[in-house]
Amino acid sequence: MSNVLLISPERCTGCGSCELACSLQHEGEFRPAAARISVLRFEAGIAVPLTCLQCDEPSCMKVCKVGAITKDAATGLVSVNGEKCIGCRMCVVACPFGNINYSPQAKQAVKCDYCEGDPQCVAFCPEKAIEFLPADTVTLGRKKAYSAKFAKLVEEVRA
């Protein structure tokens, strides 16, 4: 059974440890702008960690004309093949949540890859706002409820 990232925004303090851990893991430096996770911080003191939701039907994958984005049927992980990616950024535009980025250094799209099974954002989150849990019915139900709630919020903000 595979695992999924489960985000609990109500636990997030906005400390940014997840961003630092991610950028160090992937880029070898503490640079939150290079992280594959970001924390949205609102004036009301609310913080929400955002990363790829590994969608059931990924918009990023649908728009990739060179087949650089794939979804592993066994694990559910959506991945970018850097050797195929041409850097067109259509996937960045297509993601309804803004959870895929373009790396000017690598000249390709980058997104959460679960740190190859050991997500550093989870390891360094002091409040356990991000968890890596088995993809059972309860966890997936909680994840889908969060995704739906966030999608509604995005729609309201865009309106």
Quickly list H helices, 28-111: 59-63, 90-94
2 pLDDT more than 70: yes
Query: How far is residue 31's CA from residue 145's CA, in Å, rounded to a whole number?
Result: 31
Parse the chain into domains and list their residue ranges: 54-111
Apex 17 CA angle, 97 and 6, nearest 5: 45
Query: How far is residue 87's CA from residue 124's CA, in Å, rounded to a whole number?
Result: 30
| Position with higher pLDDT, 18 vs 43 | 18
Q: Check residue 154 and give its pLDDT.
A: 65
56: which DSSP letter?
Answer: S
CATH of 54-111, one of 1.10.10.10, 3.90.1170.40, 2.40.50.140, 3.30.70.20: 3.30.70.20
Query: How far is residue 153's CA from residue 125's CA, in Å, rounded to a whole number?
Result: 24
> What is the rounded radius of gyration, in angstroms, for the C-alpha atoms of the chain?
15
19 pLDDT more than 70: yes
pLDDT digits (tens, 9 = 90+) for 77-112: 999 999 999 999 999 999 998 999 999 999 999 999
Assigned token pair, 107:
């000249």
Query: How far is residue 159's CA from residue 138's CA, in Å, rounded to a whole number?
Result: 32
